[in-house]
Amino acid sequence: MEKNFKSLPLRLGVGIVVLNRKNEVFVAKRIDNPKNFWQMPQGGVDKGEKFYEAAKRELKEETNIKTIKFIKEIEGFISYLLPNELLGIIWKGKYKGQKQKWFIVKFEGEEKEINIKTKHPEFLDWKWVNLEKITDEVVDFKLEVYSKIKEEVKKII
């Protein structure tokens, strides 16, 4: 019997926009999707964890970035749904997408701090991109999320 994925909940998550001194955005290429798609650090929220604490934890786990200054919490949540071909595969089939709280931070460390070869690596490569480019290289199902984030970041840089 086919599972009804539409009834699945959204996973509660966080995302983090990391800007460097030139206001370029940190993006990385996922190991599980090595095509030319790039994303900003993001992940789940542990039970009882505050959103900003989850964002900082995810950032450290995925990139080793710790030297940041808080800039802004983007108001509300931004959600996306997984495409049909990924339903039942990602997150062990427990969720149909994500509802995310996003934060903007400034990276104040040295580039040598950035290390994507972590304990449980998620990324193959990383780079800094102009804010306008974040919607050019993102997977289709996150395009609307990244468009909203781009507009929010434009307000502060």
Partners of 17 in beta bridges? 104
Q: What is the pLDDT of residues 101-110, one digit of tens each?
A: 999 999 999 9
* DSSP secondary structure letter of residue 9: P
Residue 156: predicted pLDDT: 95
Measured in whole angstroms, the distance separating CA 145 from the mean position of its chain's CA atoms is 10
Q: Sketch the domain layout of the chain as residue ranges.
A: 8-154
Cβ neighbours of 12 (radius 10 Å): 18
Residues of the chain falling short of pLDDT 50: 1-2
Q: What is the pLDDT of residues 86-96, one digit of tens each?
A: 888 888 889 99
Residue 1: predicted pLDDT: 34
- CATH architecture entry for 8-154: Alpha-Beta Complex (3.90)
Residue 62: predicted pLDDT: 97
82: CB partners within 8 A, 6+ apart? 90, 95, 96, 97, 141
